């Protein structure tokens, strides 16, 4: 009898707990749904007109007010001007998630000047088209490695971005700061020049680089200014008969995503790839294999897996004899450590899993190393950054 009562009590407790769990699941679903909803857009009201400068403003801006080119009139224009900055990293693109074709035009129309600091091609086309449709000048700057450039589009009859680049470049030819790096000071210099152009436009002084492009070389320490072509009469955006009358899907147009992150290539079949988790299990098992790191030396100097053989991708691409000999010797050494007749798999790794795929295709085509023909060659998906994220949190990410 006591056992029966205990069973009934347990069943009742289970039912109560299941009801409580169901309620918690509903609350969790509601919370996740609310989190996914985009934040409501706050309307941007125009700044009220300003008739005069206050005593404090005169003191604060006194060094500017005595400039005849600016004066009180220009400072008053600055006080009521609004500027939209697209990309608030060094010259990154964190605003791209908010700047979609559905919202960009409405957003751009609320501002007097737009500054494009994005680091990807789709966003540049999107911002340029939006500025043309909204009738706003666009101050555009970019930086890569030790170089930077700045120009002003769609100002006083000048060309827009599409006038210079009617069609986007092939996605595989485009590089970014995440791919090639950038010196932080270079973005700072270009950002200051960009702010200067924005201020001059807002104050009514006119820009310096409408119809021209300023190039900065940090290594050489010099600036160079070149003339750009004039506005194209047949430009799809700002021409005499424009065909771009609304914003479009720019990721589809450019064949790449609107992000400053590195693109993920898919050059190999799933059978030719291995996850970092699977590779970690193989490593822990002590199974003989060869790990080939194909990153440039400058990246290997940052961090590396100690058991990896380093041969840069460029050496494989040009079939460097010394590197191929080193690879052949490593394969022979690995085979001596394996059981007789056992295969020696080769795993290729890089930073993100792009160059490693290229290396696998090269290795499978090599005839200079006969041993490769009988070996399994795979790349590690996601590379060392996936290793750092999923396997070893202490491994540096860069």
Lowest mean pLDDT among 143-147, 177-181, 355-359: 177-181
pLDDT digits (tens, 9 = 90+) for 179-232: 788 999 999 999 999 999 999 999 999 999 999 999 999 999 999 999 999 999
- Would 81-254 and 270-390 be classified into the same CATH topology? no
E runs forming strands in 286-374? 290-293, 309-310, 346-349
pLDDT confidence of residue 96? 43
Whole-model pTM above 0.85? Answer: no
Q: What burial class does residue 212 get, using C-beta atoms within 10 Å of its C-beta: 0-12 exposed, 13-18 middle, 19+ buried?
A: middle
Decide yes or no: CATH 3.40.50.720 for domain 81-254.
Answer: yes
Q: Which residues contact 210 (CB under 8 A, 6 or more apart)?
A: 137, 151, 152, 153, 155, 156, 158
pLDDT at 372 over 70: no
* pLDDT at residue 94 greater than cutoff 50: no
Confidence of residue 166 (pLDDT cuts 50, 70, 90): very high
Element (DSSP H or E) covering residue 143: strand 138-144
Q: Return the closest-CA partner of residue 178 out of 299, 291, 317, 310.
A: 299
The phi, psi pair for 344, rounded to 5°, reads: -115, 95
State residue 373's pLDDT score: 63
Place of tokens 């289970």: 14
Class in CATH terms, 270-390? alpha beta
Q: Which of 101-115, 137-151, 316-330 has the lowest mean pLDDT?
A: 101-115
Of the residues 117, 163, 177, 235, which is catalytic? 177
The yes-or-no answer on residue 117 being catalytic is: no
Q: How far apart are CA 2 and CA 96, in angstroms?
A: 66
**238 labelled catalytic:** no
Task: Spell out the domain ranges in the chain.
Answer: 81-254, 270-390
**Residues near 238 by beta carbon (within 8 Å), at least 6 away in sequence:** 132, 154, 159, 160, 162, 163, 231, 232
């Amino acid at each position: 009898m006591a056992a029966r009562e205990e069973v009934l009590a347990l069943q009742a407790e289970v039912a109560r707990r299941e009801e409580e769990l169901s309620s918690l699941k509903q609350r969790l679903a509601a919370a996740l749904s609310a989190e996914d909803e985009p934040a409501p857009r706050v309307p941007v009201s125009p700044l009220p007109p300003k008739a005069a400068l206050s005593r404090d403003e005169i003191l604060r801006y006194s060094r500017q007010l005595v400039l005849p080119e600016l004066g009180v009139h220009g400072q008053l224009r600055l006080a009521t001007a609004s500027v939209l900055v697209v990309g608030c990293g060094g010259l990154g693109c964190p605003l791209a998630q908010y700047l979609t074709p559905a919202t960009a035009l409405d957003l751009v129309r609320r501002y007097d000047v737009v500054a494009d600091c994005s680091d990807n091609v789709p966003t540049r086309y999107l911002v340029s088209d939006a500025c043309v449709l909204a009738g706003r000048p666009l101050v555009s700057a970019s930086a890569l490695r030790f170089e930077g450039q700045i120009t002003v589009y769609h100002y006083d009859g000048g060309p827009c971005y599409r006038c210079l680049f009617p069609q986007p470049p092939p996605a595989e030819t485009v590089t970014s700061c995440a791919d090639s790096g950038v010196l932080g000071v270079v973005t700072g210099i270009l950002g200051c020049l960009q702010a200067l152009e924005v201020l001059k436009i807002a104050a009514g002084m006119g820009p310096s680089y409408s119809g021209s492009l300023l190039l900065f070389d940090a290594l050489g320490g010099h600036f160079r200014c070149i003339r750009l072509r004039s506005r194209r009469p047949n430009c799809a955006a700002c021409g005499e008969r424009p065909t771009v009358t609304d914003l479009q899907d720019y990721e589809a147009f450019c064949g790449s995503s609107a992000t400053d992150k590195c693109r993920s290539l898919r050059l190999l079949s799933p059978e030719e790839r291995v996850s970092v988790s699977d590779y970690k299990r193989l490593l822990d098992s002590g199974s003989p294999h060869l790990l080939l790191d194909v990153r440039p030396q400058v990246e290997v100097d940052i961090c590396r897996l100690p058991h990896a053989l380093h041969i840069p991708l460029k050496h494989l691409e040009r079939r460097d004899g010394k590197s191929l000999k080193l690879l052949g010797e490593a394969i022979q050494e690995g085979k001596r450590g394996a059981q007789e007749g056992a295969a020696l798999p080769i795993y290729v790794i890089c930073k993100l899993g792009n160059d490693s795929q290229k290396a696998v295709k090269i290795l499978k085509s090599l005839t200079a190393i006969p041993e490769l023909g009988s070996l399994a060659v795979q790349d590690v998906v996601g590379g060392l950054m996936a290793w750092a994220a999923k396997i070893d949190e202490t491994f540096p990410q860069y």
